[in-house]
Amino acid sequence: MLLETLSVFPQVFAPYLDESIMGRAQRAGIFRFAAYDLRDWTHDRHRTVDDAPFGGGQGMLMKPEPIFEAVEDIAAQGEERPHVVFFSPCGRRFDQACAERLAERERVLFVCGRYEGMDERAYELADEVLSLGDYVLTGGELAALVVIDSVVRLLPGALGDDMSAKDESFSSGLLEYAQYTRPADFRGMRVPDVLLSGDHAAVDRWRRESALERTVRWRPDLLDSADLTEAERDRAREIACEIESVRADDTKDEDLTGGASDGES
Ligand code: SAH
């Protein structure tokens, strides 16, 4: 897979992508990476990539000409035209399904904004526009690194053990189950006995229940689209009630303590 970035800070990518799993995957030929400098497609002495917005307002916008020239030039190189991804807080929210979709491609070019963003016409070049989430970064470079990292670890061989990306959070629509390593007893916090039992079927059942429990507790919004049996949906409702009643008890306790201290003061 060929992954490319276009930005005004092309040097920020290598320090991350040359290390650890990303570095190993590059050396193993699992993906190739190239970072292009947008300023190489400017024609003035100052290598200008930005200009003031029409209609007034704060900050500077990225000019359309260098972006068009760069994307067209880069796309014309090589046999395969790249899938072109732009970044913007106004884009579609990036998620694991999107990472899986991108991992199927042969070539992806990520175009990173800076300043107040881009002249709207630049988005004509985008096959898709992605956002990392509902917050504003100073530039698209971090967004590109996040997306590249999540895509590369899905490529066959990248993690060493092909199974390890399989039952992670989001892969089945649920969060990942709780995991433990040695020691079995740490400061009185014991690892659940079933995980030490060697009974694989029981371990699988416990893990599914744990994934369900964690999803109900932390990300109930995922449950609607998760792949669950009817029995699991019933169990999810039960867990939600259990969590709710513990919360209600906690609030009652707080009210009582609050009342008592009020009385004393
Ligand atoms: N004025 C814009 C924000 C520009 S931030 C607005 O209010 O929508 C500058 C650049 O950082 C953007 O062009 C984009 O490439 C990147 N960026 C900022 N926040 C991002 C996010 N949540 N997801 C992806 N990219 C983001």
Nearest atom in ligand 1 to the alpha carbon of residue 118 is 13
Structural domains in the chain (count) = 2
How far does residue 112's CA lie from ligand 1's centre (Å)?
9
CA dist., res. 223 & res. 236, Å (int): 8
In whole angstroms, give the CA distance from residue 250 to residue 149. 40
pLDDT at 264: 44
pLDDT tens, per residue, the chain with 265 residues: 999 999 999 999 999 999 999 999 999 999 999 999 999 999 999 999 999 999 999 999 999 999 999 999 999 999 999 999 999 999 999 999 999 999 999 999 999 999 999 999 999 999 999 999 999 999 999 999 999 999 999 999 999 876 677 778 888 899 999 999 999 999 999 999 999 999 999 999 999 999 999 999 999 999 999 999 999 999 999 999 999 999 999 888 887 776 555 444 4
pLDDT value of residue 137: 98
* Residue listed under structure tokens 């002249």: 119
214 and 182 in a common domain: yes
> Which residue has a Cα nearest atom 20 of ligand 1?
89
Note the pLDDT of residue 260.
Answer: 53
Residue 71 exposure: Cα atoms within 13 Å on the Cβ side = 20
Q: Which helix (H) or strand (E) holds 240?
A: helix 230-264
Closest residue (by CA) to atom 11 of ligand 1?
139
CATH of the domain at 11: 3.40.1280.10
Task: For residue 109, give the 3-state DSSP assignment.
Answer: strand
Ligand 1 mutation pick, 9, 87, 111, max ligand atoms within 8 A of CB: 87
Kindly state whether residue 144 falls inside one of the protein's structural domains. Answer: yes
Same-domain pairing of 137 and 200: no
> Structural domain of residue 47, as residue ranges?
2-152
215 half-sphere exposure, CB direction, 13 A CA radius = 29
15 plus 141 within the same structural domain: yes
Residue 107 lies in a domain: yes
Same domain, yes or no: 107 and 224: no
Give pTM, 2 decimals. 0.92
Residues 6+ apart with CB under 8 A from 92: 98, 128, 129, 130, 131
Pair 140, 207 in one domain: no
Distance from CA of residue 225 to its chain's centroid? 18
Say if residue 97 is in the same domain as residue 210: no
